[in-house]
Amino acid sequence: MNDSEFQGKTVLISGAGRGFGKRSADCFFKKGANLVLTDFDDAMLDKAMAPYTGHNERVVGLSGDIGQQQTSVNAANLAEKTFGGLDIAINNAGIVHPQARLDVLDVEIVENIIQVDLLGVFYAMKYQLPLMMKRHQETGEQCNIVNLASAAGIMGSPMLSAYSAAKHGVVGLTRSAALEYARKGIRINAVCPAFTDTDMARNALHESHHGAEEAERRLVANVPLNRLAKIDEVVQAILWACSPKNSFYTGQALSIDGGLSAF
């Protein structure tokens, strides 16, 4: 990947306040992209935007809950108004629920997971795709969507059933949309990480009744590479999926999981 690989491209990233979203923003910016960054945590978004002070012409932010349709409408409008369209979307914002057997999971928690992790991706694509079809018609270049699914989106995940169901849904949305838009110049893929060393995973480990250290040991014992993934190991896959050199790659669920799904 070269340093101007995404020069002049407009990239919309949800959940850009921390974790994969924040790091992806950093990488796309360094490779020349304009950014529309969204998050529902204002303080985190402000902090993530701080390094771009002085680059207002290339980076804009939007506060909003991705589980609400209007946030995706606003984000698409902001991309069009500020940068004249949209080339790449990283639908990354997501949440996980506390580990629990299905019969003791609260219905409200499950509804919220589906709202954010599954419907949030549907709303996002619904308003991104028209902009991308227009962009492709104007430029002849491919547009790209990457949805953050999970290893839990292609495998059963005990104690994470609602999260796993939502992420399986994201993989289904991704594959189906990829088929619908392949001939309209839009490549659509999912990235499926196993547990990665972000705040989301660290918080989940700390909530474990085994204690964080023992919970991590148990978790990685199932992973052939025997550790958590690093943020950059996942983010490079996100960028790779969007690379213009990767022009024949669509409709895939790309596992970055230390070999977990090879069993």
Ligand X SMILES: NC(=O)c1ccc[n+]([C@@H]2O[C@H](COP(=O)([O-])OP(=O)(O)OC[C@H]3O[C@@H](n4cnc5c(N)ncnc54)[C@H](O)[C@@H]3O)[C@@H](O)[C@H]2O)c1
Is 17 a residue that touches ligand X (CB under 6 A)?
Answer: yes
Residue 230: both structure tokens together: 């690093």
Beta partners for 186? Answer: 143
- Cα–Cα distance, 258 to 193 (Å, whole number): 9
We find the least distance from the C-beta atom of residue 165 to ligand X, in angstroms, to be 13
Number of residues that bind ligand X (CB under 6 A): 29
Q: Is 67 in the site for ligand X (CB under 6 A)?
A: yes
169 near ligand X, judged by CB under 6 A:
no
**26 near ligand X, rule: CB under 6 A:** no
Structure tokens at 234: 């996942």
* Binder of ligand X out of 189, 198, 250, 255 (CB under 6 A): 198
For 10, residues 6+ apart whose C-beta sits below 8 A from its C-beta are 33, 34, 35, 36, 79, 83, 84, 85, 86, 87, 88
Cross-strand bridge partners of residue 144: 88, 187
**Contacts (Cβ under 8 Å, ≥6 apart) of 51:** 26
Q: How far is the CB of 2 from ligand X (least distance, A)?
A: 26
163 noted as active-site residue: yes
Stretch that binds ligand X, among 16-24, 99-107, 126-134, 213-221 (CB under 6 A): 16-24
Under a CB-based contact definition with an 8 Å cutoff, are residues 258 and 229 in contact? yes
Please identify, among the stretches 27-35, 80-88, 94-102, 207-215, the one whose residues bind ligand X according to the rule CB under 6 A. 94-102
CB 164 within 8 A of CB 199: no
Considering only residues 139 to 158 of the shown chain, the ones binding ligand X according to CB under 6 A are 148, 150
Q: How far is the CB of 136 from ligand X (least distance, A)?
A: 26
The amino acid present at 248, given as its one-letter code, is F
Select which of 123, 127, 163, 181 is catalytic.
163
Residues that bind ligand X (CB under 6 A): 14-15, 17-21, 39-41, 44, 65-67, 92-96, 116, 148, 150, 193, 195-196, 198-201
Catalytic site positions: 163
